[in-house]
Amino acid sequence: MSVAMGKPEASARRRWASVVVLSASLLVVTMDLTVLNIAIPDMSADLRPTSNQLLWIVDVYSLVLAGLLVSASAVGDRWGRRRMLLAGYAVFGGASALVLLAGSAETVIALRAVLGLGGAMIMPTTLSMIRTVFTDPAERATALGIWAAVSGIGAAVGPVVGGLLLEYFSWHAAFLVNVPLMVAALVAGALILPESRRLRPGRWDGIGAVLSLVGMVLLVWSLKRFAKEESLAVASGWAALVIAVATLSWFVLRSLRRRDPLLDMRLFTSRRFTAGVVAALGSTFALAAALLLLAQWMQLVVGYGPVETGVRLLPVAVTATLASVLAPWLARRTGARSVLAGGLAIAGAGMLVLFLVPGDLAYAHVMVALSLVGAGIGSLAIGSAMIMSGSPGDKAGNAAAIEETSYDLGNVLGVAVLGSVAALLYRIGLDDDLGALDSRGAGAARESLGSAVAIADRQGLPDLAARAGAAFTDSMQTTSLFGGLTMIAVAVAVFAIVPKGTDITEQRH
């Protein structure tokens, strides 16, 4: 079982204050995921990393995060979740402060890896602490709605914050902004958050920890490799994928056979738990590439600057925030199954808007699509509530690790698969329009829209930029069709999996 160190249940004021602390710290971590995208050009100009080093600067955070989510949650269950969270704040803030000493790409890579460690200590622990602080499932559903809303806000405002910082400061500011926020979280967490841990966690499974680390790192790396090459004909990617599948299969079998597994796979016997995981994985898979492509479309096709692009992406965050807060209230009146599945279907419809618009795509169409997507994914708060109410209290860390892994893996899969589809469609759409370029220039233009625009500017070929923009827009719209249909399929699957009459205010013990 999970205990709160022998203390009585937290007062209502302390419970909701805990939500504020946990959500605010998650805001910093999720914001950091997108701030870097804005800082990369300035960082590259200053440090001059090789192309391989630049890939590691971008990728190492998610690799470390994915590899350590399970182990960090298991350690928190044993060591103390509050203690793990405060340590995560210190690691994340300390690594962000050390960026002032970063004079090389290698140092930035190392610091990004440490940030990944801090993120793995923070992200699942915020979820598991909400599970243990809020013993009443109805209250917990509302708290999870707030948590989900803040998570979405962080990812959306990251580019805006990054752009504003880089208007006045160097790229270091994209990291240093974390320091005062983490110091505040550390102080507030020490004063407000109660301690909790599993009473009888069982023996530590060192082999299982290694298997989960190696398997998840290789899985994420292989998918990123396929996405970078925009091809499945990558021998190193396949080798990593085969080893990852074998390692993770061993981990799952080991977890099923042990009485005290590092990660309890038996949680999936709960249909509402499984539905929540499917919703998290499927929705991020469908959305990740679409939102990334939209950001590129705004900057390279329409011509918005980084800050303006961030602002114009905000409708998805605004509607997601409102929907996340309203979703628990609506679920109590119309049923959790209909709210979660219906929300996913609305998000899918929003993506289809991008494909179905008559004539040329304009920002007005995009705003409608983003608003529908945000309103729909706000229902994922119900998915979180299903995951937490569908798992026993002593498995809070396991449940949180699985949910966060689902989001992380869905994001990587979506960019790898749908991003590659978009790149292929872009190349096909551009193939007939490159007669004015030599073979080297044509090859570079086919690689990406950014390369095509740069070549067009350098060689004074405005028609090339226009054709490349049109090809990219068509590829983005077709990819949105695939993503929208995928989201609707996920909605149907979730509706089928969730038992009729599921009540997120009832707790599985």
If you ran DSSP here, which 8-state letter would residue 298 be given?
I
CATH code of 480's domain: 1.20.1250.20
Please count the structural domains in the chain: 3
Does residue 30 sit in the same domain as residue 157? Answer: yes
Does residue 255 sit in the same domain as residue 275? Answer: no
Does residue 199 sit in the same domain as residue 210? Answer: no
Does residue 448 sit in the same domain as residue 357? Answer: yes
3-class SS shares of the chain: helix, strand, coil, % to 5: 85, 0, 15
Does residue 224 sit in the same domain as residue 243? Answer: yes
Digits of tens for pLDDT over the chain (509 positions)?
Answer: 454 444 445 677 888 888 888 888 877 777 776 677 667 777 887 888 887 787 788 788 888 988 999 899 888 888 888 999 999 999 999 999 998 888 888 999 999 999 999 999 998 898 888 888 888 887 888 888 888 777 767 766 777 777 777 777 888 888 888 899 899 999 999 999 888 877 777 788 889 999 999 999 999 899 888 877 767 778 899 999 999 999 999 999 999 998 888 888 898 988 999 999 999 999 988 888 888 788 888 888 888 877 788 788 888 888 988 888 888 889 888 888 999 999 999 999 999 999 998 878 899 999 999 999 989 988 888 988 888 887 777 787 888 888 888 888 888 888 888 888 888 888 888 776 666 666 676 777 777 777 777 787 777 777 788 888 888 899 999 999 999 999 999 999 999 999 888 877 766 55
Does residue 401 sit in the same domain as residue 375? Answer: yes
Last residue of a domain, one of 223, 238, 261: 261
Rounded to 5°, the CA angle 295-298-303 comes to: 140
Domain, as residue range, for 417: 267-509
Does residue 247 sit in the same domain as residue 272? Answer: no
Q: Residue 270 in contact with residue 79, Cβ under 8 Å?
A: no
Does residue 366 sit in the same domain as residue 455? Answer: yes
Alpha-helical runs (H) found in 98-136: 105-133
Strand partners, 2: 198
